[in-house]
Amino acid sequence: MEKNTIGSFLAALRKSRGMTQQDVADYLNVSNKTVSKWERGTSYPEITLIPVIAELFGVTSDEILQGRRIINEEKNSDKQAVKSNSQLKRIIDSSIIRFKNISLIALALTAAGMILLFTIAYSFYRPVIGFGLLLMFLAASVTLELVQTNLTNAGLKNSEALLENNDILKEIHLAKNRYAFAVLFANMAAVVFGLPFVLLRYPLPFVLLRYTYYSESGVIAFSAYLALAPVLLAVTAILFLAAFSLFETILLKEEKGRLPAAIKKKIAALNSIQGGLISLSLLFVILGIMNYAWEVKTLLYLSSAGFVSGALAQFGVFVFFVTRHKVKTEKFLLLAEGLRNMLLGFAASLALNGVAFWEAQGATGYSYDLAYLSRAAWITIGTTMVYVYAKKHLQKNICR
């Protein structure tokens, strides 16, 4: 099959209609150079343009993909089907590359917004203006990605050839959703890293917002920002876990190799029980750091005993679920889930101890509380990275 089959067919259709390349370009909102490249076979039309081109020339999408007119007897021919799928595959690859490039432009807008924020905050001492510009760039980034996603979805829905080929359709949706997730998460992370520049104006009772972290110009000291970086990374890691879970549940629902229902129920049960015990343990930690708990020794002992009991109960539940499972790969998946829960609970208790040090020190210095918060942050970051890596590979083994 010649590489420029589609291009030759488009050129023949254009000439039969008495149209110039510029006429076609104006109708499709592209340049005449783009139409020329299509006809020479050096590039292919976007998948979203195939139905529009078919309507313009009064042919079907399948005929454009095959590069020839199809008579009724040939429509079910295996040879023509192979030819159509081969042409379609090349167009799909080209469309995915275009979507990837648009996503990279969206990520570049996000990065430009962060650069502007730091420049305006530390050069002109106007962090609020910088944060506002950051939000504008993030809005532009998300809008660009949404527009491209909607255009791609519209093209997929209007393509009969794609609707009949579920495997290729799933491949496109999976690639598109992955790039969209990357852009969405990058924008979420940018907001997290930009918040310390504006939170000074809100008297929230939290250790990260203490006024001593800010210079006289109202901008957070750069040394303090670097010290807070692990905490911001931890918040981003937790957001990633939540967003990644949602991404797996909703956007990847058509992907092959999802976990069996039985193991999913066991994972949900393990997470629910351990999550409840972690919450209970943290409540005892909060009780212990309250001022009056130090005056009433019974409350202090109760807080310590409650926290230790909750931690032991978490470990007991973890051992129970892991040891009762026979299948090795599924046992390791439960192991990853249980260890993640316990480590995140430990990180949360360290963070609460950081708050306790802050309360004890008052407004002088921030070495102890940030030390605790940084340890909690690095535990959270490490746990997230190991968990995502382990789950990805274990799930592949389970679903083979």
Full DSSP string of 209-272: G-GGGB-TTSSB-HHHHHHHHHHHHHHHHHHHHHHHHHIIIIITTTSS-PPPHHHHHHHHHHHH
The answer to whether residue 63 sits within a structural domain is: yes
Does a structural domain hold residue 378?
A: no
Does residue 15 lie within any of the structural domains?
yes
Tens place of pLDDT for every residue, the chain, 400 residues? 344 577 888 888 888 888 888 888 888 888 888 888 888 878 778 777 777 788 888 887 777 777 777 665 444 554 555 555 666 666 677 777 888 899 999 999 999 999 999 999 888 888 889 999 999 999 999 999 988 888 777 766 665 555 556 666 677 777 788 888 889 989 999 998 998 888 755 444 344 444 445 566 668 778 777 777 777 777 787 777 767 766 665 555 544 445 667 777 887 888 888 888 878 877 776 666 555 545 555 665 666 677 677 777 878 888 888 787 766 667 777 777 777 777 777 766 666 665 555 444 444 444 444 555 555 555 666 666 666 656 665 555 544 4
Within-domain flag for 351? no
Q: Return the residue matching tokens 């917002």.
A: 209
Q: By residue range, what is the domain housing residue 16?
A: 5-88
Contact assessment for residue 88 and residue 66, using Cβ atoms and an 8 Å cutoff: no
Length of the chain: 400
Question: Which residues have CB under 8 Å from 71's CB, separation 6+?
Answer: none
Number of domains the chain is built from:
1
Domain membership flag for residue 40: yes
Q: What is the CATH number of the domain that holds 22?
A: 1.10.260.40
For residue 197, the 8-state DSSP code is G
